[in-house]
Amino acid sequence: MKKLLLTGFEPFLSFTVNPTMRIVEELNGLEIGDYQVLSRVLPVDFALSGAKILAHIEDVKPDAVISLGLAGGRYKITPERIAINVKDGAADNEGHIPVDETINIEGEPGYFSTLPIRQMVNKLLEEGFPAEISNTAGTYLCNNVMYEALQYAKTVNPNMKAGFIHIPASHELAIQHGKIPSWSHADLKKSVEICIGELV
């Protein structure tokens, strides 16, 4: 059976819970389609997150990597098309605020996802879940780990698929936060399982 490294993030900024963390913990060890899921939770830390996902890739030696991130305010499941070689944005959990920083000085300006993102979106829509491809992963931690995983795939293991999926807030988080759209935890989790099922 093939191995999938599935990552989520710890809570960050004003988001006191992170649904990606709960999802990856619950899916850890399950077999979905052709893959066994091996989950890890990443820190919201610009200095550590890239190194952490690379260490997990070296440890797990996965056939595919899917990283999940919370996009508070989005109302669809959005597989990302591209990661860019930039760190810029709000403070991470350690208080670091990068401005126009390069992720990897030797890296390409950007890397495209190698996940079957169109098939994922089509299957989600078929199953009744709002979804679309996103053309920007931003420049925060989500883009950072997506870029690192894709650069690894490009330069070290071209047979490894890699990419990133943003998900909306959970109801629990939306109640705490106020005015953001949300999905039930069950629907968020089911949507991630559907995406994993398209890794064929």
- Contact between residue 160 and residue 148 where contact means Cβ atoms under 8 Å apart: no
Catalytic residue among 56, 148, 166, 198: 166
Handedness of CA 16, 90, 153, 52 (dihedral sign): negative
Tokens of 159: 């047979």
- Contact between residue 65 and residue 120 where contact means Cβ atoms under 8 Å apart: no
CB atoms within 10 A of CB 122: 13
Q: Based on the residue annotation, tell me whether 166 is a catalytic residue of this protein.
A: yes
Length of the chain: 200
Report the C-alpha gap between 96 and 182 in whole angstroms: 28
Label each residue of 79-106 as H, E or C.
EECEEECCECCCCCCCCCCCCCECCCCC
Catalytic residue among 26, 96, 101, 142: 142
Catalytic residue among 80, 148, 195, 198: 80
Q: Based on the residue annotation, tell me whether 80 is a catalytic residue of this protein.
A: yes
Provide the CA 171 distance to its chain's centre, in angstroms: 19
Q: Which residues are catalytic?
A: 80, 142, 166
